[in-house]
Structure 1
Amino acid sequence: MRTDPFLLFDDWFAQARTSEVNDSNAMALATVDGDGRPSVRMVLLKGHGPDGFIFYTNFEGRKASDLLANPNAALLFHWKSLRRQIRIEGVVGRVDDATADAYFATRSRDSQLGAWASDQSRPLASRDVFMQRYEEMRARFDGQDVPRPPHWSGFRLRPDRIEFWQDREHRLHERRLFTPAADGGWDEGMLYP
């Protein structure tokens, strides 16, 4: 019987939620722009399952620009308290509007207003300029629901490689690699540390 990497992810993620003090859903996202220059930044996992791993962003910022130019990406979860990491590689695609709308509705009102106020990744003259824009959005949407901005949505990374890394004494680490099988399941193998 083969191991399901998504069930293993669920198990490790559940343990991380109890052991990590802050942002157990934080993951490094690596992208490459149209010129082949790599970039990595931390984002938050907001959904996951056999269909992939979801995160949200401003589509006018650098990460979205990178992903739209080259949809190949990698994720890394590192849970220092557990001495574990999970590396995931695959191709991203945009989530549908209903999924993005549903998630946006769960965000705090301040986060929703911030999504309207931010020109993510663009130069900013001062923090005061951003806070002024935030206050303008607060006034604009006073007394009403804040809709999802048209430039804000999410990506779903569909994995084609998932590696579970467990720290072991004397650097004799355990590495389990999952790759898609021909029958639609997953093949599991080991990697040298």
Structure 2
Amino acid sequence: MKAGALIAALALAAAAAWLARPQAGVAAAPRAATPAVAPGAAPAPPARAVETAGAGWLGELPRSAPVPAWDSMADARRHGDARMPPLAPSTRAGSGPSAAQLADPQAYRAYEARQDARVLAAFASAAALEGPRLQADVERARAAGIPAAQIARVEAKIRRLEQLRREIAGPAVQR
């Protein structure tokens, strides 16, 4: 058992030494042999050296090689991804409560009530648009021969949405 642990420790030390080895800097491009130029002819421009990314596990890699996925992920982790959409919609300046509303508890409660009413109105509007779409889905399901139990679940959902919409619209109508 001790021999196995010793071998494992040596293998781990060798792997750590291999990973900790210093990375070679960008190596200079090897010089190509210059072909003989005929007298009186203009010399050809020197061949462009391939820019290299430095020594790695596979030696010198030209920059034109595809970027490895791990390198791309590390770059995105450090600097973000420009292709990513914003996580939340940007808020307009002044969309939050004013300093006076924050200072006065009663004014802040009124602000919260307006925000709640706005959210409920948005839900009622979305439910009014969703009802006919769900009803059309039920009609297509009946025509397609979907089992009645599945259709009944959607019809119950339509009834609950309509009931909630009426409950929300009720207090707004009374005001």
Task: Name the structure where strand makes up a greater proportion of residues.
Answer: 1
The structure carrying a bigger helix percent of its residues is 2
TM-score normalized by the length of structure 2: 0.18
- TM-score, with length taken from structure 1: 0.17
Q: Between Structure 1 and Structure 2, whose CA radius of gyration is higher? A: 2
Higher relative contact order, chain-length normalized (CA < 8 Å, sep 6+): 1
